[in-house]
A and B are shown apart, each in its own frame.
Chain A
Amino acid sequence: MASPQTTSNAVPKSSANQGFVYLPLIAGWLVPGAGHFLLGKWGRGALLAASVVGMFVIGLAMQGQLFSNVHDILDLLGFVGDLGNGLLFLVGRVAGLGADQVQITSQDWGTRFIEVAGLLNVIAAVDAHNIRTGRKAA
């Protein structure tokens, strides 16, 4: 009688692959690069953190806008992009950073930088989740 077979593509058990499966995803969203740090991917995490935080800070330095009031669909999309920054966005809002209104071109650039930093952070967090679940090769 044949013995029960195990799946050959099962995720190997290691210290990085134990615990709550969504932790790298949530940590990566809240703190840029943290998802990869939790998985021991220090180099990738540092580069991702530098990219996301750098883009966010440069966006603020260009006096970009942090969305808080949603008036139309474009504001809503911008707000969703900003939310992708996780704690960076919350700290920025609490500290009163960012311009209230966009008046010059560089402020528009800054606003886009902040939004895209959030979207890139979501991509990085999902990447950490894929590594955690074994969907992407570590």
Chain B
Amino acid sequence: MQISHFSALALFSLFASTVFGITMRDTPKKMLRYGIYCFALFVGSGIVVSWLMYFIAH
């Protein structure tokens, strides 16, 4: 199976955020909010670091 870097990043973020949300918070509402927060941080930081590497390479 060949997927793009961004797809791999999104899948990785989705699975990791799900586990982080469930294990790091006590109530379902807090779990959902923390999971979304982690997902946004994973994907956002991935995009930021990707652009940084792009400008370093060029």
Q: Which residues of A contact B (CB under 8 A)?
A: 44, 47-48, 50-52, 54-55, 58, 61-63, 105-106, 109, 112-113, 116-117, 120, 123-124, 126-127, 136-137
Contact = CB atoms under 8 A, between A and B. Distances in A.
Task: Determine chain A's interface SS by DSSP, over half rule.
Answer: helix
A31 B16 CA distance: 17
Which 7 A-B residue pairs are closest in the complex by CB-CB distance?
Answer: A127-B23, A61-B1, A120-B19, A51-B15, A51-B18, A55-B15, A137-B26
Contacts of B20: 123
Contacts of A63: 1
Contact of B12 (A44, A52, A113, A123): A113
Task: Determine chain B's interface SS by DSSP, over half rule.
Answer: helix
A80 to B, nearest CB: 18
A105 to B, nearest CB: 8
